[in-house]
Structure 1
Amino acid sequence: MPRSNPPAATKTSSRAASQPPRTYSTAFVARRLGISIPTVQRWVDAGRLKAWKTPGGHRRIDAASADRLFETHVATGDEEGELPAQGADALSVVIVEDNAEDCEILRLLVGTALPEAQVRVFDSAIQALVAMGQDAPDVVVTDIVMPHMNGVEMLRQLSSQCVVRPRLIVAVSSFGEKRLAELGELPPQVHFVAKPVEPEPFIALLRGAQTGA
Protein backbone atom coordinates (compact mmCIF):
# COMPACT_ATOMS: atom_id res chain seq x y z
CA MET A 1 0.00 0.00 0.00
CA PRO A 2 1.18 3.53 -0.73
CA ARG A 3 2.47 5.34 2.29
CA SER A 4 0.15 8.07 3.47
CA ASN A 5 1.51 11.40 4.55
CA PRO A 6 0.59 12.62 8.05
CA PRO A 7 -1.98 15.39 8.20
CA ALA A 8 -0.62 18.91 7.75
CA ALA A 9 -1.80 19.89 11.23
CA THR A 10 0.31 17.12 12.74
CA LYS A 11 3.38 18.32 10.87
CA THR A 12 2.80 21.90 11.97
CA SER A 13 2.28 20.99 15.60
CA SER A 14 5.37 18.77 15.54
CA ARG A 15 7.53 21.57 14.16
CA ALA A 16 6.15 24.03 16.72
CA ALA A 17 6.91 21.66 19.55
CA SER A 18 10.51 21.31 18.39
CA GLN A 19 11.13 25.05 18.11
CA PRO A 20 12.72 26.74 21.14
CA PRO A 21 10.68 29.51 22.79
CA ARG A 22 11.32 33.07 21.67
CA THR A 23 13.57 35.00 24.05
CA TYR A 24 15.09 38.46 24.50
CA SER A 25 18.34 39.49 26.08
CA THR A 26 18.28 41.39 29.38
CA ALA A 27 19.82 44.41 27.66
CA PHE A 28 17.11 44.47 24.98
CA VAL A 29 14.31 44.38 27.56
CA ALA A 30 16.01 47.14 29.56
CA ARG A 31 16.28 49.36 26.48
CA ARG A 32 12.71 48.67 25.39
CA LEU A 33 11.26 49.50 28.81
CA GLY A 34 13.61 52.38 29.51
CA ILE A 35 14.95 50.84 32.71
CA SER A 36 18.34 49.63 33.93
CA ILE A 37 19.61 46.08 33.48
CA PRO A 38 19.73 45.55 37.28
CA THR A 39 16.04 46.51 37.40
CA VAL A 40 15.22 43.84 34.79
CA GLN A 41 17.12 41.32 36.89
CA ARG A 42 15.18 42.36 40.00
CA TRP A 43 11.88 41.95 38.10
CA VAL A 44 12.99 38.45 37.11
CA ASP A 45 13.84 37.61 40.73
CA ALA A 46 10.45 38.97 41.81
CA GLY A 47 8.63 36.82 39.25
CA ARG A 48 7.45 39.78 37.18
CA LEU A 49 9.35 38.46 34.16
CA LYS A 50 9.81 34.83 33.22
CA ALA A 51 13.44 33.96 32.48
CA TRP A 52 16.12 31.32 32.67
CA LYS A 53 19.88 31.05 32.28
CA THR A 54 21.72 29.43 29.39
CA PRO A 55 24.48 26.85 30.05
CA GLY A 56 26.91 29.72 29.54
CA GLY A 57 25.31 31.68 32.36
CA HIS A 58 23.48 34.28 30.23
CA ARG A 59 20.00 35.27 31.33
CA ARG A 60 17.28 34.99 28.69
CA ILE A 61 13.87 36.62 29.05
CA ASP A 62 10.77 34.81 27.81
CA ALA A 63 9.48 36.90 24.89
CA ALA A 64 5.78 36.44 25.71
CA SER A 65 6.38 37.56 29.28
CA ALA A 66 8.32 40.63 28.13
CA ASP A 67 5.79 41.47 25.40
CA ARG A 68 3.07 41.81 28.02
CA LEU A 69 5.19 44.39 29.83
CA PHE A 70 5.96 46.19 26.57
CA GLU A 71 2.22 46.60 25.96
CA THR A 72 1.71 47.93 29.48
CA HIS A 73 4.71 50.23 29.81
CA VAL A 74 5.55 51.20 26.24
CA ALA A 75 2.78 52.94 24.34
CA THR A 76 5.03 53.77 21.38
CA GLY A 77 8.20 52.39 19.88
CA ASP A 78 8.93 50.12 16.96
CA GLU A 79 10.06 46.53 16.51
CA GLU A 80 13.70 47.58 16.79
CA GLY A 81 13.19 48.37 20.45
CA GLU A 82 13.34 52.16 20.24
CA LEU A 83 12.46 53.88 23.49
CA PRO A 84 9.49 56.23 23.64
CA ALA A 85 10.25 59.86 24.33
CA GLN A 86 10.63 60.54 28.02
CA GLY A 87 8.73 63.22 29.87
CA ALA A 88 10.50 66.45 30.65
CA ASP A 89 10.47 65.63 34.37
CA ALA A 90 12.23 62.28 34.04
CA LEU A 91 15.67 62.42 35.63
CA SER A 92 18.65 60.09 35.39
CA VAL A 93 20.15 59.00 38.71
CA VAL A 94 23.40 57.22 39.53
CA ILE A 95 23.79 55.40 42.85
CA VAL A 96 27.31 54.36 43.89
CA GLU A 97 27.34 52.05 46.91
CA ASP A 98 29.37 48.89 47.57
CA ASN A 99 27.22 47.66 50.46
CA ALA A 100 24.28 45.67 49.04
CA GLU A 101 21.89 46.45 51.90
CA ASP A 102 22.65 50.19 51.91
CA CYS A 103 22.39 50.23 48.12
CA GLU A 104 18.91 48.72 48.23
CA ILE A 105 17.80 51.32 50.80
CA LEU A 106 19.11 54.16 48.61
CA ARG A 107 17.47 52.67 45.53
CA LEU A 108 14.11 52.42 47.27
CA LEU A 109 14.34 56.00 48.56
CA VAL A 110 15.27 57.27 45.10
CA GLY A 111 12.35 55.32 43.65
CA THR A 112 10.00 56.91 46.18
CA ALA A 113 11.27 60.42 45.56
CA LEU A 114 11.67 60.17 41.78
CA PRO A 115 9.46 57.29 40.55
CA GLU A 116 9.96 58.10 36.86
CA ALA A 117 13.75 58.41 37.06
CA GLN A 118 16.12 56.09 35.23
CA VAL A 119 18.43 54.66 37.87
CA ARG A 120 21.87 53.15 37.32
CA VAL A 121 23.54 51.37 40.23
CA PHE A 122 27.29 50.76 40.65
CA ASP A 123 29.27 49.11 43.43
CA SER A 124 32.54 50.60 42.19
CA ALA A 125 33.47 54.28 42.09
CA ILE A 126 35.79 53.65 39.15
CA GLN A 127 33.05 52.01 37.06
CA ALA A 128 30.60 54.76 37.99
CA LEU A 129 33.06 57.48 37.00
CA VAL A 130 33.60 55.91 33.57
CA ALA A 131 29.84 55.55 33.03
CA MET A 132 29.13 59.13 34.11
CA GLY A 133 31.82 60.39 31.77
CA GLN A 134 29.91 58.78 28.90
CA ASP A 135 26.42 59.75 30.03
CA ALA A 136 26.20 62.48 32.66
CA PRO A 137 23.37 61.94 35.18
CA ASP A 138 21.08 64.55 36.71
CA VAL A 139 21.54 63.21 40.23
CA VAL A 140 24.44 61.38 41.90
CA VAL A 141 24.10 59.59 45.24
CA THR A 142 27.35 58.07 46.43
CA ASP A 143 28.86 56.40 49.44
CA ILE A 144 32.18 57.90 50.54
CA VAL A 145 34.11 54.94 51.93
CA MET A 146 34.66 52.40 49.15
CA PRO A 147 37.61 50.24 48.04
CA HIS A 148 40.05 51.23 45.27
CA MET A 149 38.61 54.74 44.88
CA ASN A 150 36.67 56.54 47.61
CA GLY A 151 33.69 58.77 46.96
CA VAL A 152 35.60 61.99 47.65
CA GLU A 153 38.16 61.23 44.96
CA MET A 154 35.43 60.15 42.54
CA LEU A 155 33.50 63.40 43.07
CA ARG A 156 36.63 65.48 42.58
CA GLN A 157 37.30 63.81 39.25
CA LEU A 158 33.64 64.09 38.32
CA SER A 159 33.73 67.85 38.99
CA SER A 160 36.75 68.29 36.72
CA GLN A 161 35.71 65.92 33.94
CA CYS A 162 31.95 66.36 33.53
CA VAL A 163 30.97 68.92 30.91
CA VAL A 164 27.37 68.78 32.16
CA ARG A 165 27.27 69.00 35.95
CA PRO A 166 24.64 66.98 37.84
CA ARG A 167 21.80 69.01 39.32
CA LEU A 168 22.32 67.33 42.67
CA ILE A 169 25.20 65.42 44.24
CA VAL A 170 24.66 63.67 47.57
CA ALA A 171 27.43 61.97 49.56
CA VAL A 172 26.40 59.54 52.28
CA SER A 173 28.53 57.98 55.01
CA SER A 174 28.45 56.59 58.54
CA PHE A 175 31.88 58.14 59.21
CA GLY A 176 32.12 61.12 61.55
CA GLU A 177 33.59 64.48 60.53
CA LYS A 178 37.11 63.62 61.73
CA ARG A 179 37.26 60.35 59.80
CA LEU A 180 35.87 62.02 56.69
CA ALA A 181 38.39 64.86 56.95
CA GLU A 182 41.15 62.28 56.56
CA LEU A 183 39.80 61.42 53.12
CA GLY A 184 39.77 65.04 52.02
CA GLU A 185 37.28 67.84 51.56
CA LEU A 186 34.15 67.28 49.53
CA PRO A 187 33.81 69.45 46.41
CA PRO A 188 31.55 72.50 46.66
CA GLN A 189 27.81 72.00 46.15
CA VAL A 190 27.91 68.42 47.45
CA HIS A 191 25.25 67.64 50.05
CA PHE A 192 26.38 65.40 52.88
CA VAL A 193 23.89 62.97 54.45
CA ALA A 194 24.80 60.82 57.46
CA LYS A 195 24.01 57.12 57.63
CA PRO A 196 21.61 55.71 58.60
CA VAL A 197 19.77 57.91 56.12
CA GLU A 198 16.66 59.66 57.42
CA PRO A 199 14.04 58.96 54.73
CA GLU A 200 11.94 62.14 54.78
CA PRO A 201 14.74 64.75 54.50
CA PHE A 202 16.54 62.61 51.94
CA ILE A 203 13.42 62.26 49.79
CA ALA A 204 12.77 66.01 50.04
CA LEU A 205 16.35 66.69 48.92
CA LEU A 206 15.97 64.47 45.88
CA ARG A 207 12.64 65.99 44.92
CA GLY A 208 14.26 69.39 45.03
CA ALA A 209 16.42 68.33 42.08
CA GLN A 210 13.28 67.63 40.06
CA THR A 211 11.64 70.96 40.85
CA GLY A 212 14.86 72.95 40.73
CA ALA A 213 14.42 74.05 44.34
Structure 2
Amino acid sequence: MTSSKPSAAVRPAPASYSPAELARRLGVSAPTIQRWVDQGHLKAWKTLGGHRRIDAESAERFIAGQGLPADLPAEAPPPLTVMIVDDNEDDRDVLCALVEEALPGATILLADNGFQALTSIGQAMPQLLITDIVMPHMNGIEMLRHVCGGSTVRPHAVFAVSSHTPQQVAGLGGLPEGVTLVAKPVQPAPFIEALRAAAR
Protein backbone atom coordinates (compact mmCIF):
# COMPACT_ATOMS: atom_id res chain seq x y z
CA MET A 1 0.00 0.00 0.00
CA THR A 2 1.47 3.26 -1.00
CA SER A 3 0.74 6.62 0.51
CA SER A 4 1.37 9.95 -0.91
CA LYS A 5 2.36 12.97 1.12
CA PRO A 6 0.19 16.01 0.69
CA SER A 7 1.90 18.60 -1.39
CA ALA A 8 2.84 21.83 0.34
CA ALA A 9 0.54 24.68 -0.35
CA VAL A 10 2.09 27.21 -2.63
CA ARG A 11 0.91 30.77 -2.39
CA PRO A 12 0.23 31.97 -5.93
CA ALA A 13 2.02 35.08 -7.08
CA PRO A 14 -0.18 38.06 -7.84
CA ALA A 15 -1.30 38.18 -11.45
CA SER A 16 -0.43 41.85 -11.60
CA TYR A 17 0.64 44.89 -9.61
CA SER A 18 -0.66 48.40 -9.61
CA PRO A 19 2.07 51.00 -10.33
CA ALA A 20 1.81 52.19 -6.71
CA GLU A 21 2.21 48.64 -5.33
CA LEU A 22 5.29 47.96 -7.44
CA ALA A 23 6.72 51.39 -6.63
CA ARG A 24 6.43 50.64 -2.90
CA ARG A 25 8.04 47.24 -3.33
CA LEU A 26 11.00 48.66 -5.24
CA GLY A 27 11.28 51.84 -3.19
CA VAL A 28 10.91 54.15 -6.19
CA SER A 29 8.32 56.69 -7.25
CA ALA A 30 5.20 55.81 -9.24
CA PRO A 31 6.35 58.04 -12.16
CA THR A 32 9.54 55.95 -12.34
CA ILE A 33 7.42 52.78 -12.73
CA GLN A 34 5.41 54.51 -15.44
CA ARG A 35 8.60 55.48 -17.25
CA TRP A 36 9.89 51.90 -17.13
CA VAL A 37 6.59 50.78 -18.65
CA ASP A 38 6.87 53.40 -21.40
CA GLN A 39 10.44 52.27 -22.08
CA GLY A 40 9.31 48.67 -22.44
CA HIS A 41 11.10 47.32 -19.36
CA LEU A 42 7.80 46.26 -17.77
CA LYS A 43 4.73 44.76 -19.42
CA ALA A 44 1.48 46.52 -18.57
CA TRP A 45 -2.09 46.99 -19.69
CA LYS A 46 -5.12 49.05 -18.74
CA THR A 47 -8.27 47.67 -17.16
CA LEU A 48 -11.75 48.51 -18.44
CA GLY A 49 -11.84 51.18 -15.76
CA GLY A 50 -8.69 52.78 -17.16
CA HIS A 51 -6.36 51.63 -14.37
CA ARG A 52 -2.87 50.49 -15.35
CA ARG A 53 -1.70 47.04 -14.20
CA ILE A 54 1.83 45.65 -14.33
CA ASP A 55 2.29 42.01 -15.37
CA ALA A 56 3.54 40.11 -12.30
CA GLU A 57 5.93 37.84 -14.22
CA SER A 58 7.45 40.84 -15.98
CA ALA A 59 7.82 42.62 -12.64
CA GLU A 60 9.49 39.64 -10.96
CA ARG A 61 11.99 39.33 -13.83
CA PHE A 62 12.73 43.02 -13.56
CA ILE A 63 13.19 42.78 -9.77
CA ALA A 64 15.59 39.89 -10.31
CA GLY A 65 17.64 42.05 -12.66
CA GLN A 66 16.56 40.30 -15.84
CA GLY A 67 14.07 42.82 -17.10
CA LEU A 68 16.15 44.89 -19.49
CA PRO A 69 15.49 44.36 -23.20
CA ALA A 70 17.76 41.77 -24.79
CA ASP A 71 18.73 44.17 -27.57
CA LEU A 72 19.94 46.89 -25.18
CA PRO A 73 23.50 47.76 -26.33
CA ALA A 74 26.16 46.45 -23.96
CA GLU A 75 27.82 49.85 -23.87
CA ALA A 76 24.64 51.70 -22.94
CA PRO A 77 25.16 53.71 -19.75
CA PRO A 78 23.04 52.82 -16.73
CA PRO A 79 20.14 55.16 -16.03
CA LEU A 80 20.82 58.07 -13.71
CA THR A 81 19.69 57.35 -10.16
CA VAL A 82 18.57 60.12 -7.80
CA MET A 83 17.73 59.65 -4.12
CA ILE A 84 15.38 62.06 -2.33
CA VAL A 85 15.35 62.02 1.48
CA ASP A 86 12.64 64.00 3.29
CA ASP A 87 10.23 63.10 6.09
CA ASN A 88 7.57 65.47 4.70
CA GLU A 89 5.52 63.73 2.00
CA ASP A 90 4.48 66.99 0.32
CA ASP A 91 8.08 68.18 0.11
CA ARG A 92 9.15 64.80 -1.30
CA ASP A 93 6.47 65.11 -3.99
CA VAL A 94 7.67 68.60 -4.94
CA LEU A 95 11.30 67.48 -5.16
CA CYS A 96 10.29 64.39 -7.13
CA ALA A 97 8.39 66.53 -9.65
CA LEU A 98 11.37 68.85 -10.09
CA VAL A 99 13.73 65.92 -10.65
CA GLU A 100 11.28 64.44 -13.17
CA GLU A 101 11.31 67.72 -15.09
CA ALA A 102 15.06 68.26 -14.86
CA LEU A 103 16.19 64.70 -15.56
CA PRO A 104 13.67 62.75 -17.66
CA GLY A 105 14.44 59.05 -17.52
CA ALA A 106 16.14 59.15 -14.12
CA THR A 107 15.31 56.50 -11.55
CA ILE A 108 14.07 58.20 -8.38
CA LEU A 109 14.47 56.51 -5.01
CA LEU A 110 12.64 57.83 -1.96
CA ALA A 111 13.45 57.70 1.75
CA ASP A 112 11.81 59.44 4.69
CA ASN A 113 14.68 59.30 7.19
CA GLY A 114 18.45 59.19 7.36
CA PHE A 115 18.72 55.56 8.47
CA GLN A 116 16.63 54.33 5.56
CA ALA A 117 18.60 56.53 3.18
CA LEU A 118 21.99 55.17 4.29
CA THR A 119 20.85 51.60 3.61
CA SER A 120 19.48 52.50 0.20
CA ILE A 121 22.55 54.52 -0.78
CA GLY A 122 24.80 51.56 -0.01
CA GLN A 123 22.67 49.30 -2.19
CA ALA A 124 21.67 51.58 -5.08
CA MET A 125 24.69 53.94 -5.21
CA PRO A 126 22.74 56.94 -6.58
CA GLN A 127 24.61 59.53 -8.59
CA LEU A 128 22.63 62.43 -7.08
CA LEU A 129 21.40 62.84 -3.49
CA ILE A 130 18.85 65.42 -2.34
CA THR A 131 18.12 65.54 1.37
CA ASP A 132 16.26 67.58 3.92
CA ILE A 133 18.23 68.66 6.99
CA VAL A 134 15.69 68.53 9.83
CA MET A 135 14.37 64.97 10.13
CA PRO A 136 13.55 62.68 13.06
CA HIS A 137 15.86 59.90 14.28
CA MET A 138 18.84 61.02 12.18
CA ASN A 139 19.01 64.53 10.74
CA GLY A 140 20.34 65.28 7.30
CA ILE A 141 23.67 66.65 8.53
CA GLU A 142 24.46 63.49 10.47
CA MET A 143 23.42 61.34 7.53
CA LEU A 144 25.59 63.39 5.16
CA ARG A 145 28.60 62.96 7.43
CA HIS A 146 28.25 59.21 7.01
CA VAL A 147 27.79 59.52 3.25
CA CYS A 148 30.58 62.02 2.68
CA GLY A 149 33.04 60.75 5.25
CA GLY A 150 35.27 58.84 2.87
CA SER A 151 32.51 56.52 1.68
CA THR A 152 33.19 54.75 -1.61
CA VAL A 153 29.54 55.17 -2.59
CA ARG A 154 29.36 58.94 -2.16
CA PRO A 155 27.04 60.39 -4.82
CA HIS A 156 28.60 62.62 -7.46
CA ALA A 157 26.46 65.58 -6.35
CA VAL A 158 24.69 66.25 -3.05
CA PHE A 159 22.04 68.88 -2.33
CA ALA A 160 20.81 69.75 1.18
CA VAL A 161 17.38 71.41 1.08
CA SER A 162 16.30 73.45 4.11
CA SER A 163 14.42 76.50 5.31
CA HIS A 164 17.37 77.18 7.62
CA THR A 165 19.76 80.00 6.75
CA PRO A 166 23.43 79.17 6.13
CA GLN A 167 24.19 80.57 9.60
CA GLN A 168 21.58 78.30 11.21
CA VAL A 169 22.95 75.31 9.32
CA ALA A 170 26.43 76.16 10.56
CA GLY A 171 25.02 76.27 14.08
CA LEU A 172 23.75 72.70 13.62
CA GLY A 173 27.26 71.57 12.77
CA GLY A 174 27.59 72.63 9.15
CA LEU A 175 27.47 70.67 5.91
CA PRO A 176 30.30 68.48 4.66
CA GLU A 177 32.50 69.93 1.96
CA GLY A 178 31.01 69.83 -1.52
CA VAL A 179 27.36 69.75 -0.40
CA THR A 180 25.17 72.46 -1.98
CA LEU A 181 22.63 74.16 0.28
CA VAL A 182 19.28 74.88 -1.39
CA ALA A 183 16.77 77.18 0.34
CA LYS A 184 13.16 76.16 0.96
CA PRO A 185 10.76 76.86 -0.58
CA VAL A 186 12.75 75.61 -3.57
CA GLN A 187 12.81 77.92 -6.57
CA PRO A 188 12.08 75.58 -9.51
CA ALA A 189 14.08 77.16 -12.35
CA PRO A 190 17.49 77.49 -10.63
CA PHE A 191 17.12 74.13 -8.92
CA ILE A 192 16.29 72.38 -12.18
CA GLU A 193 19.33 73.98 -13.81
CA ALA A 194 21.51 72.93 -10.87
CA LEU A 195 20.30 69.33 -11.23
CA ARG A 196 21.02 69.32 -14.95
CA ALA A 197 24.46 70.78 -14.40
CA ALA A 198 25.21 68.17 -11.75
CA ALA A 199 24.05 65.38 -14.06
CA ARG A 200 26.36 66.63 -16.79
Give the TM-score normalised by the residue count of structure 2. Answer: 0.69
- Which structure has the greater CA radius of gyration? 1
Query: Which residue number in structure 2 is paired with residue 66 of structure 1?
Result: 54
Amino acid at match of 1:65: R
After the TM superposition, which residues 161-180 of structure 1 pair with which residues of structure 2 at under 5 Å, given as runs? 162-180=151-169
2:170 to 167, 181, 185: 181
Q: Whole-Å Cα distance in 1 between the matches of residues 16 and 164 of structure 2?
A: 43
User: Cα–Cα, structure 1 residues 133 and 178, in superposed 2: closer, same or farther, change >3 Å?
Assistant: same
Deviation at 1:208, TM superposition (A): 1.2
Q: Whole-Å Cα distance in 2 between the matches of residues 163 and 21 of structure 1?
A: 37
Query: Which residue number in structure 1 is paired with residue 142 of structure 2?
Result: 153
Query: Which residue number in structure 2 is paired with residue 106 of structure 1?
Result: 95
Query: Which residue number in structure 2 is paired with residue 209 of structure 1?
Result: 198
1:39 to 27, 30, 40: 30
Matched residue SS, 2:54: helix
Matched residue SS, 2:53: helix
Give unmatched runs, 5+ long, in structure 2: 1-11, 35-44
Give unmatched runs, 5+ long, in structure 1: 1-19, 51-61
Identity %: 38
Q: Whole-Å Cα distance in 2 between the matches of residues 99 and 126 of structure 1?
A: 15
Matched residue SS, 1:65: strand
Matched residue SS, 1:66: strand
Give the TM-score normalised by the residue count of structure 1. Answer: 0.65
1:193 to 178, 182, 187: 182
In terms of fraction of residues, the more helix-rich structure is 1
Q: Whole-Å Cα distance in 2 between the matches of residues 173 and 95 of structure 1?
A: 13
User: Cα–Cα, structure 1 residues 207 and 89, in superposed 2: closer, same or farther, change >3 Å?
Assistant: farther
Deviation at 1:164, TM superposition (A): 3.0
Q: Whole-Å Cα distance in 2 between the matches of residues 195 and 101 of structure 1?
A: 13
Deviation at 1:66, TM superposition (A): 1.9
Q: Is the 8 A contact 1:26 1:37 kept in 2?
A: no
1:83 maps to 2:67: yes
Deviation at 1:203, TM superposition (A): 0.6
Question: How many residues in Structure 1 have an aligned counterpart in Structure 2?
Answer: 165
Deviation at 1:182, TM superposition (A): 2.2
Query: Which residue number in structure 2 is paired with residue 135 of structure 1?
Result: 124
Deviation at 1:136, TM superposition (A): 1.3
Deviation at 1:107, TM superposition (A): 0.2
Please give the root-mean-square deviation of Cα atoms over the aligned residues, in Å: 3.6
Q: Whole-Å Cα distance in 2 between the matches of residues 120 and 192 of structure 1?
A: 20
